[in-house]
């Protein structure tokens, strides 16, 4: 078995981030990870674990695993950790011994307030850990590893970008089946089912809750919220708006595309649709022009939001964009307004190597006119990571 490339890249990145953040070590404490996955684990470990397991990375580059017998062979085989210590009865003695040897003054632990993608440690596990260290000073050295995990998730490695580009290609391939499928009378539900069948055929997972992935919106009476596709049927003069994210080899895409079903005699979409499409594309372009390393997400959102309002449309009621990666909503910075709902995340500075969605839409009398594409942040700006739709697909 060769050392898994992706996890190897992320471990080296984590050690660099520990140094940037002046943290002595990162302690990842997990258990029964196929039932209760820690969202950060698979960045640095390539398999599941049954018993209590501890992964420690230090700013000096030490890579230490403390795992139960039965689990330890898999960790050793991975080649990712230079020290793998197996226990039979309890992890505590080995952990105390290891921390006493390292003697860290700051220990970044896998919990975070307000960032679901960095908050894997359960409260019961936290209490167990504090109890295991009660004779030592180390439980008092815990800090949240949220800032570390946020950087680790958002700075994509080469291998991560390869997988994400493939996820986008797979999504586009699924979208290509929609044009011939759409006929008057075809329902949102049937369209969602056709897409599910194709995802299964291609062995693709859903990037979010299966029932609402894809999101399918036909015409002006479609429902909002996190629901399933409905029994609403396609008609001439309607917009079909699809929101689809797939998971390919653990990495996600998140794209929205538009179709228009022409009425008798129409060559192009109705004017109201064309104007809305131009406003949506313009607003997204305004946000994209603002996106570069060092800016804060709310500034990017504001550029798109004010463009849309100046074009005479109502504000969208969500964020302009979010980080994509292992999850469709991958945590870290949000390109969103400074609403309490988003807590601190619109203030996080943007970093090179991040991949964000840019997404918004407006409701029209013909349906929901929306677009969503992905961009990769470069050293001085950003570039399209998916290829945006230039014209609404005609049916």
Positions that interact with a second copy (CB under 8 A): 31-32, 34-37, 39, 48, 50-51, 70-71, 73-74, 88-90, 111-116, 118-128, 131, 144, 146, 208-209, 224-227, 327, 329, 339-341
CB of 234 to a second copy, least distance (A): 24
65 versus 392: smaller Cβ distance to a second copy: 65
Q: What's the min distance (Å) between Cβ of 90 and a second copy?
A: 6
Nearer to a second copy, 22 or 123 (CB): 123
State which residue, 16 or 85, has the beta carbon closest to a second copy.
Answer: 85
What CA–CA distance (Å, rounded) separates 292 from 381? Answer: 4
Quote the tokens at residue 233: 């049927």
Structure tokens given for 200: 């299964």
Task: Return the number of the residue (301 or 395) whose C-beta is nearest a second copy.
Answer: 301
- What's the rounded Cα separation, in Å, for the pair 323 and 37? 20
Of residues 180 and 225, the one with the C-beta less far from a second copy: 225
Rounded Cα–Cα distance for residues 268 and 43 (Å): 47
Do residues 280 and 264 touch, judged by C-beta distance below 8 A?
A: no
Residue 41 near residue 71, CB atoms below 8 Å: no
Q: For the CB of residue 152, give the shortest distance to a second copy in the complex, in Å.
A: 17
Distance CA 302, CA 360 (A): 12
Is 364:305 a contact under the CB 8 Å cutoff? no
Tell me the closest approach of the beta carbon of residue 340 to a second copy, in angstroms. Answer: 5
Q: How far is the CB of 77 from a second copy (least distance, A)?
A: 10
> CA triplet 132, 134, 140: central angle to 5 degrees?
105
β-strands 321-322, 83-87 pairing: unpaired
């Amino acid at each position: 078995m060769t050392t898994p490339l992706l996890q190897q890249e992320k471990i080296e990145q984590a050690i660099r981030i520990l140094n940037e953040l002046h943290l002595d070590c990162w302690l990842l404490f997990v258990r029964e990870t196929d039932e209760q996955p820690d969202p950060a684990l698979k960045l640095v470990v390539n398999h599941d674990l049954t018993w209590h397991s501890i992964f420690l990375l230090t700013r000096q580059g030490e890579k230490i695993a403390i795992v139960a017998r039965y689990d330890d062979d898999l960790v050793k085989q991975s080649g990712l950790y230079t020290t793998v210590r197996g226990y039979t009865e309890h992890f505590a003695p080995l952990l105390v011994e290891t921390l006493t040897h390292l003697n860290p003054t700051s220990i970044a632990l896998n919990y975070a307030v307000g960032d679901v993608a960095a908050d894997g440690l359960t409260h019961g596990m936290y209490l167990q850990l504090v109890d295991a260290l009660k004779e030592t000073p180390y439980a008092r050295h815990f800090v949240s590893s949220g800032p570390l995990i946020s950087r680790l998730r958002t700075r994509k490695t080469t291998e991560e970008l390869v997988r994400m580009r493939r996820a986008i290609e797979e999504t586009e391939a699924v979208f290509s089946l929609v044009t011939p499928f759409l006929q008057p009378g075809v329902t949102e539900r049937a369209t969602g089912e056709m897409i599910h069948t194709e995802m299964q055929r291609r062995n693709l997972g859903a990037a979010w809750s299966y029932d609402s992935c894809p999101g399918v919106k036909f015409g002006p009476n479609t429902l909002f919220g996190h629901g399933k596709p409905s029994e609403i049927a396609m008609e001439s003069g309607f917009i079909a708006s699809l929101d689809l994210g797939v998971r390919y080899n653990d990495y996600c895409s998140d794209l929205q595309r538009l179709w228009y079903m022409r009425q008798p005699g129409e060559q192009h979409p109705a004017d109201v649709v064309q104007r809305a499409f131009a406003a949506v594309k313009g607003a997204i372009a305004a946000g994209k022009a603002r996106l570069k390393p060092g800016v804060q997400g709310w500034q990017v959102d504001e550029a798109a939001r004010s463009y849309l309002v100046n074009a005479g449309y109502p504000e969208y009621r969500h964020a302009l964009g979010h980080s994509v990666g292992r999850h469709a909503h991958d945590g870290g910075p949000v390109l969103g307004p400074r609403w309490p709902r988003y807590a601190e995340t619109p203030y996080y500075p943007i970093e090179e190597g991040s991949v964000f969605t840019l997404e918004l839409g407006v409701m029209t009398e013909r349906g929901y006119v929306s677009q969503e594409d992905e961009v990769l942040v470069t050293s001085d700006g950003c570039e399209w990571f998916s290829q945006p739709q230039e014209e609404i697909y005609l049916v």
